[in-house]
Structure 1
Amino acid sequence: MSAQTKLTPELDFDVASLPTDLYINGKWRPGSTGKRIDVIDPSTQTVISSVADASIEDALDAVAVAYQAGPAWAETAPRKRSEILRRCFELMIERKDMLAELISLENGKALNDARGEVAYAAEFFRWFSEEAVRLNGEMSTAPSGANRILVEYQPIGVAVLVTPWNFPAAMATRKIAPALAAGCTVVLKPATETPLTAYALAELYAEAGVPDGVVNVITTSRSGATVSAMLHDPRVRKLSFTGSTEVGRKLLHEAADNVLSCSMELGGNAPFIVFDDADLDAAIEGAMIAKMRNGGEACTAANRFYVQEGILEDFSRRLAERMEAMTVGIGYDNATHCGPLINADAVSRISGLVEDAVRRGATILTGGKALDREGFYYLPTVLTGVPAEAAIIREEIFGPIAAISSFETEEEVIRLANDSEYGLISYVYTGNLAKGLRVSGKMESGMVGLNRGLASDPAAPFGGTKQSGLGREGAHHGVLEFCEMKYIAVNW
C-alpha cells in the first residue's frame, strides 16, 4: 500500500451537526422503536454516528403523510415544481464539497469519486426540472373519424423508493427528481450503511422549497418487513428499487400482491471487450474508469474483461501497472485513489472469488489480498487466464478486481459476453466503427459503452435487460416511470 498523507484527515464539517432522525412530514422525529442504528466509517471501522430506527408504524405514517400531500403537489403548477427542483440542484452544487466528504466518510469511496457522484446526483435535479414542464400529452383523430383520441400523463401516486449504499446521493436523486417532476410524493428508505447523506439531502430539499410531506425519509433495521408493509398499503402505487437481483426478485413478489408499478435497477456483470484493432491507450483509460470508478462497487463496473489474443499480453501488463500504482487508503484523504470496501463481508466475499479463480488456474498479476489494518481494504487486483467456470465470471464482483480472459473471434466473444443472466451494460473497444456498432447491437444489455468507459448520464435512459431490471431511469423515460397514461375518447 502506498503511503498516505495523513492517518486521519480532518473533515470540513461537524458530523454531530447532521440530522439523524426520521424525516416525516417536514419534521425530524425519533423512531418509535427507541433504538438507533450505528453508522460505521469503513475506512477506520469506527462508529461515526447513529440514526433513528423506524418501526413499521413509522413507515406507514410516512406513507399516510405522502398520500395526504399528494393532491396538492400534483396540482402544483409544473413551472413551480420545476423551479423547486432547479433550486435543489443549485443547493447541491453550493454544498458539493461537504456532501462529497460526507459520502466518502460513510461509504469509503475516494474523494474524487465522491465529488463525481455529487455532480452526477445534482444533475438529475437540473435535468428533471426541465422535464417537469415537458410532460406533453398526445392528440389524434380516431381512424374511423368518430372521435378524438386524447392522451395525458398523470402522477402515479405515492412512490416507495429503496436505494443502496454504493451511491447514496445519486441513487436517491435519480428517483426523487423524476417522481417530483411528475407530481408524485415519495417515501425514501436508504441503506443503513449510508443514511447520513440521505438525511442531509432531505434537509436541503426543505430549504429548496419542497413542501412538507412530499419527500419523507426513513431508516430501519428491519428493511424486509418494513418495505413489505409499505408495499401492501393500498395508498402506495409505485416501487422504485436499486439493489441486488436477489432482493429485487423478492420485492417483485411483494409488489405483485397490490399490482404495483415497479422500476427495478438490479445487478450487473458487465463484459469489457477489447479487440486487437482498438486504441490501446484509450482502452486502458476506459478500463480504469469502467472497473475502478467507486472502487469497483458499482452495478455498471466492468467485471469480465475479454481481450483479443493479439493484444492480450500488452493490455494485461498495462492494466496491472495502472492498478498497482493506485494509492489505497482512507476515502476522505485527497491522496487516495481507491478506498475501502463497504464492510468485512464484502472483503471476505471478494477474497473467496479471487481464491476460487486461482484454484481454477487464473494468475494474479497484481494485488490479490486484503490489507491487515483497520478498515475494509482489498488491493486493486488483476487476474489473467480466468476460466469461464470460475465464480468470478458468473457473479457480480462489486470490488476492485479485473478478471481477464482471452478470445479469438468476434462470434466467440459475443457468445461469451452474452452468457450471463445479467444484462445491464457492456463495453466494447475497437478501431472499426462498423464492427463496434455491429457488436454493440448484438450485446444482450440495456446499455453499451462503445469506446467509452462511462455511459451514465442523466439525459440518457439507464437500465438493463434480462435479470438486470425493469424500466429506465434518466432521460424523458425516467419521468414516465412515475406517470399513469390516461386515454380520453372525446367528441367536439
Structure 2
Amino acid sequence: MSAHEQPSHPRETTVVEAAPKQLFIGGKWCSAGQDRTYDVEDPATGRTLCTVADADADDGLAALAAADQAQHDWAQHPPRQRGEILRRAFELITARHEDLSLLMTLEMGKPLAESRAEITYAAEFFRWFAEEAVRIDGDYAVAPNGKGRFLVMRQPVGPAVMITPWNFPMAMGTRKIGPAIAAGCTMVLKPAHQTPLTMLALAAILSEAGLPDGVLNIITSQSAGRVMEPVIRDPRARKLTFTGSTAVGRRLIEQSAEQVLKTSMELGGNAPFLVFADADVDAAVDGAMLAKMRNIGEACTAANRFYVHADVAEEFSRKLTDRMRSLRIGRGVSDDIEVGPLIDADQCDKVTELVTDAVERGAEVVLGGRRGEGQGHFYPPTVLTGVPADARLTREEIFGPVAAITTFTDEQAVLDEANNTEYGLVSYVYTQDLHRGIRVSEALETGMVGLNQGVVSNPAAPFGGVKHSGLGREGGKVGIEEFLETKYVAVGGV
C-alpha cells in the first residue's frame, strides 16, 4: 500500500489492515481466481483504503458448491445450537463495536455516530433470531372427516443467495444471515463492491462464534451480475434475497424464475412525509431530521417528499432549515461530524441532477443546493420549497440530504399525491388526531408507516414494502418465514 493509499490516522490503518480481504469459501479464506483484486475507496477522500479479492463466476459457483455440501448437516443442527451461535456472534459484535464502527465509516462514509447506531442495530438481528431459532413450529390436526391426520412441518428452504447494498453494510447482512442461520439454511452472500470490509469482518466473527464451515460463504467482486447470475441460475440455489434498487431487483426476479427460487426483495422507496395542520411542529421537525438525514439520506426509508399543510408550512420549513443548516459536514471519523460524504461520484451526480431539475421547474432553494468542492463526494444538506409535482425528485429516490417540500390543504388530495408512485415502502404521518392517524395510515399504499415517528426500522418488526418496493418481509416473527418451506404430511389409517 503506497503512502497515497494509507488511511490518515494510525488507528484507521490498524482497523483496515485487520479486516479480511479475501473470499470466504467453505470456512477458508482464499484468493480470487488469478489473484484478481480491486480497490476499496474512502468516499470522504477519494483515496484507496485497501484492495480486496475480485471474484469471478467460477468463484461464485465454488461458494455455492460449499453451501450445497454443508446444507444437509446444517439443516440437522439442533435449533438451540444454531441460536447459541447467533448469540455468541451478537456478543462478539458488541465487544468489537468501536472497531467495526470505524471500519464502516472508512469504507462507506457515514459519520461515526451513524456507524455506531448501525452496528448496534445489526447485532440486534442476531439476538432476535437467536431466540426465534427455537420457535420454528408446525401443526397437527384431525382431518375434518375424522379419517386421518394432518401433520405440518417447517423445514429450511436450502442454500440461499444473498446480495446486500452499500448503504447499511452490516445491518442488511445480519437481517438476512440471522434468519437463515436460525432456519438452518446455508448461504452465499455478495456484499456491495463499495463496502466489502464490514461483511468480511462479520464472516470472521461468525466463524469465531462456531458457525460450521460452508454455512456462510462471502464473495466480493466489482461485478455482481457477472458473478451472481450463474449462481442464481444454478439448480443448487433454492432462495434469493436482495436489497437494492428496483431496477436491479426486476432483473434478479427474472433470473430467479429459471429455477423458481423462493424470492424476497427489499427494493426502492419514495417515502412521503405528511405533516397535518394539527401536528406538533417541533415533533414533526425532529421526525423529519431522522427520516431525512439518517445515513446522509442514503436509505430506502428516507423521506423523499415532504407534504406540509399550508397552515404550518412556513413554521415547519423555517425550523427544518435551521436544523439542517446547523449540521456539521466532514469526514465522518471525527465525533463532531454529523453529515459525511455520499458513497461515490455517481451518487453526487444523481443528487445534483435531481436538484437542478426541480429548480428548473420552479422549486426554490432555501438551503444548500450545490455540491461540495475539493476531495470527497460531499453534498450539503439542502431544503427546497415549492417543489412542483412534475419534478423528477418526486418520482425518483433522491438518496441524498435533500428535503423537498410541497404544501397542501386537502387530506384526500394529499393522500392521492402520496400514493401516486410505483413505490410503496414507507410513509410518515404527523398528526395529533388519533382518528386521522389511523385513517391516513390505512389509506397509504406502503408496507410500513411511521405515525408520529421518524424511524420505523426495528429487528423485532416486519420490514418490507408493497408495489415496486419489494416482496416479502425481513425481521420480526415473520422474518424467518422467508427461509422455511412448509411440508404437509397426510397420515392415514388413524
In the alignment, the residues of structure 2 paired with residue 341 and residue 211 of structure 1 have an alpha-carbon distance, to the nearest angstrom, of 37
Distance 1:449 1:8 in 2: 40
**3-state SS of paired residue (1:422):** coil
Secondary structure (helix, strand or coil) at the match of 1:345 reads helix
Letter matched to residue 11 of structure 1: R
Residue type of the alignment partner of 1:121: A
Alpha-carbon deviation of 1:149? 1.3
Q: Does 1:113 align with 2:85?
A: no
| Partner in structure 2 of residue 212 of structure 1 | 213
The 8 Å contact of residues 9 and 332 in structure 1, kept in 2 or not, is answered as no
Distance 1:104 1:14 in 2: 11
4+ residue stretches of structure 1 with deviation over 2 A? 7-14
Question: Residue 15 of structure 2 contacts residue 102 of structure 2 at CA under 8 Å; is this kept in 1?
Answer: no
In the alignment of these two chains, the number of paired residues is 486
Instruction: Quote the Cα distance in structure 1 between the aligned partners of 2:86 and 2:8.
Output: 36
Mapped to 2, the partners of 1:435 and 1:354 lie a distance apart of 32
Between the aligned partners of 1:375 and 1:432, the Cα distance in structure 2 is 45
Matched, 1:308 2:309: yes
SS across alignment from 2:238: strand
Task: State TM-score, norm by structure 2.
Answer: 0.97
Q: Which residue of 2 aligns with 1:187?
A: 188
Equivalences for 1:298-337 in 2 at 5 Å?
A: 298-337=299-338
Aligned mates of 1:396, 1:130 — CA distance in 2 = 35
How far is 1:314 from its partner?
A: 0.6
In structure 1, distance between residues paired with 2:94 and 2:17: 22
- Whether 1:96 aligns to 2:97 is yes
> Match of 1:25, as an amino acid?
G
Q: Is residue 15–residue 103 contact of structure 2 (8 Å, CA) maintained in 1?
A: no
SS at match of 1:282: helix
Question: In the alignment, what sits opposite 1:342?
Answer: 343
Q: Which residue of 1 aligns with 2:87?
A: 86
Q: Which residue in 2 is equivalent to 1:235?
A: 236
**Equivalent position of 2:3 in the other structure:** none
CA contact (8 A) 2:15 2:99 kept: no
Q: Secondary structure at the match of 2:80?
A: helix
| Whole-angstrom distance in 1 between the partners of 2:391 and 2:75 | 51
One-letter amino acid of the structure 1 residue matched with residue 403 of structure 2: A
Tell me, in whole angstroms, the C-alpha distance in 1 between the residues paired with 2:223 and 2:88: 34
8 Å Cα contact 1:232-1:258 kept in structure 2:
yes
Aligned pairs for 1:268-417 within 5 A: 268-417=269-418
**Once structures 1 and 2 are overlaid, which stretch shifts more, 320-329 or 13-22?**
13-22
Determine the C-alpha separation between the residues in 2 that align with 1:403 and 1:147. 62
- Cα shift at 1:11: 3.3
**Contact 1:320 1:365 (C-alpha < 8 Å) held by counterparts:** yes
Instruction: Give the Å deviation of 1:8.
Output: 5.1
Q: 1:457 corresponds to which letter in structure 2?
A: N
Whole-angstrom distance in 2 between the partners of 1:190 and 1:135: 28
Taking the TM superposition and a 5 Å limit, the aligned residue runs for 1:13-92 are: 13-92=14-93
Distance 2:170 2:21 in 1: 16
Q: Give the CA deviation at 1:118.
A: 0.3
CA distance in 1, matches of 2:184, 2:292: 37
Q: CA deviation at 1:332?
A: 1.4
CA distance in 1, matches of 2:391, 2:223: 34
Query: In structure 1, how many angstroms separate the alpha carbons of the residues matched to 2:237 and 2:26?
Result: 16
> 1:170-194 deviations in whole A, cap 9, x for unaligned?
0000000100100000000000100
Alignment gaps of 5+ in structure 1: 1-6
Judge conservation of contact 1:303–1:402 (CA < 8 Å) in 2.
yes
Q: TM-score, normalised by structure 1?
A: 0.98
What is the one-letter code of the residue matched to 1:410? E
Comparing 26-35 with 479-488, greater Cα deviation is found at: 26-35
Q: CA shift at 1:139, angstroms?
A: 1.5
Check the 8 A contact 1:8/1:330 in 2, yes or no. Answer: no
Task: Give % identity.
Answer: 55
Q: Deviations over 1:56-81 (max 9, x none)?
A: 11110110110111111110100000
Counterpart of 1:287, as a letter, is A
Which residue is 2:11 aligned to?
A: 11
Counterpart of 2:11 in structure 1: which amino acid?
L
> Could you tell me how far apart the structure 2 residues matched to 1:269 and 1:33 are?
42
Which secondary structure state, in structure 2, belongs to the residue aligned with residue 476 of structure 1? Answer: coil
**C-alpha distance in 1, partners of 2:436/2:148?**
49
1:476: how far off? Answer: 1.5
Equivalent residue number for residue 3 of structure 1: none
Provide the rounded CA distance (Å) in 1 between the counterparts of 2:402 and 2:412: 26
* 8 A contact 1:11–1:101 mirrored in 2: no
Residue 331 (structure 1) shift: 1.4
**CA–CA distance in structure 2, aligned partners of residues 207 and 417 of structure 1:** 47
Secondary structure of the residue that 2:398 maps to in structure 1?
A: coil
CA deviations 1:191-216 (Å, max 9, x no partner) are: 01000001111100000000110000
CA-based RMSD of the aligned residues comes to: 1.0
* AA matched with 1:136: D
2 CA distance for matches of 1:163 and 1:389? Answer: 32
Q: CA deviation at 1:17?
A: 2.2
Match of 2:4 in 1: none
Matched, 1:224 2:225: yes
Shift of 1:222: 2.5
CA distance in 2, matches of 1:290, 1:69: 41
Secondary structure of 1:184's counterpart equals: coil
Aligned to 1:430: 431
| Corresponding position of 1:162 | 163
- Report the Cα distance in structure 1 between the residues aligned to 2:255 and 2:244, rounded to whole angstroms: 15
Structure 2 gap ranges (5+): 1-6
Shift of 1:14: 3.3
Does residue 483 of structure 1 match 2:484?
A: yes
When residues 461 and 14 of structure 1 are mapped into structure 2, their CA distance, relative to the original with a 3 A threshold, is closer
Q: Distance between the aligned counterparts of 2:289 and 2:343, measured in 1? A: 20
Distance of 2:94 and 2:221 partners within structure 1: 29
2:8 and 2:310 mapped to 1: Cα distance?
45
> For 2:33 and 2:442, how far apart are their aligned partners in 1?
52
- 1:124 equivalenced with 2:140 (yes/no): no
Q: Is the contact between residue 193 and residue 223 of structure 2 (CA under 8 Å) also seen in structure 1?
A: no
User: Does structure 2 conserve the Cα–Cα contact (< 8 Å) formed by 1:162 and 1:190?
Assistant: yes
How big is each residue's C-alpha offset from its partner over 1:314-373, in whole Å with a ceiling of 9 and x where there is no partner? 100110110011001001111110000000111111011001101111011111111111
Shift of 1:16: 1.6
Q: Secondary structure of 1:467's match?
A: helix
Deviations 1:409-459 (A, max 9, x none): 110111010000000000000010110011000010000000000010111
Cross-structure match for 2:265:
264
- Taking a change above 3 Å as real, the CA distance of residues 8 and 324 of structure 1, as seen in their structure-2 partners, is farther
Residues 197-251 of structure 1, C-alpha deviations (whole Å, 9 max, x = no match): 0111110000000011000001112311211100111110000000000000000
Cα distance in structure 2, aligned partners of 1:383 and 1:11: 39
